[in-house]
Amino acid sequence: QVQLVESGGGLVQPGGSLRLSCAASRSIFSTSAMGWYRQAPGKQRELVAQITSGGNTNYGDSVKGRFTISRDNAKNTVYLQMNTLKPEDTAVYYCNAWRAYFWNYWGQGTQVTVSS
């Protein structure tokens, strides 16, 4: 089974920062768009950020200007740098690896809690 290995979640204070990481196998990572999605209690899952294999990025409106997605192809790892965190950023964050017509894989999710 394909596993997306996530790390970096945790508890931070409002205004703080976290960096999430997600690693995949080389064969998956090199041909996938990688993304981060999140789901807060009582809300639908939403796009946080996505980066294509070519390096193009997309962000959800609520995180633009605060979050940055990047990928390190040598490490087969995608990162999500989260700055100026707000309580409303609290959610389970899921790593995603997507290749049209081939696969759509998800990580187990990592909890991010922003609270004082």
* Residue 1 pLDDT grade (very low, low, confident, very high; cuts 50, 70, 90): low
Convert the pLDDT of each residue in 65-89 to its tens digit: 999 999 999 999 999 999 999 999 9
Q: How far apart are CA 5 and CA 21, in angstroms?
A: 8
Mean of pLDDT over the chain? 96
Rounded distance between C-alpha atoms, residue 75 and residue 109, angstroms:
20
Banded model confidence at residue 3, pLDDT cuts 50, 70, 90? confident
Q: What is the pLDDT of residue 2?
A: 74
In the block, tokens 């204070």 appear at: 13
